[in-house]
Amino acid sequence: MIQASEFRNGVTFEMDEQVYQIIEFQHVKPGKGAAFVRTKIRNVITGGTTEKTFNPNDKMPKARIERKEMEYLYNDGDLYYFMDTETYEQMPLSQESLGDSLKFVKENMKVIMLSFKGNVFGVEPPTFVELTITETEPGFKGDTATGSTKPATLETGAIIKVPLFVNEGEKVRIDTRTGEYMERA
pLDDT of 105 above 80: yes
Domain CATH number, residue 33: 2.30.30.30
147-175 exposure pattern, b = at least 16 Cβ within 10 A, e = fewer = eeeeebebebebebebbbbbeeeeebebe
Same domain for 132 and 168? yes
Average pLDDT in the chain: 85
Contact 154, 166 (CB under 8 A): no
Domain that holds residue 37: 2-60
- Structure pTM? 0.68
The stretches of the chain forming alpha helices (DSSP H) are 95-98
* Mean pLDDT of the region 106-124: 84
Contact 166, 136 (CB under 8 A): yes
pLDDT value at residue 146:
67
Give the Cα separation of 157 and 75 in Å (integer).
Answer: 14
Cβ within 8 Å of residue 59, ≥6 positions away? 1, 2, 3, 4
pLDDT value at residue 141:
61
pLDDT value at residue 143:
56
pLDDT value at residue 147:
73
Same domain for 84 and 111? yes
Domain CATH number, residue 141: 2.40.50.140
Residue 48 per-residue DSSP state: -
Contact 181, 166 (CB under 8 A): yes
Domains identified in the chain, total number: 3
Last residue of a domain, one of 86, 106, 124: 124
pLDDT value at residue 48:
82
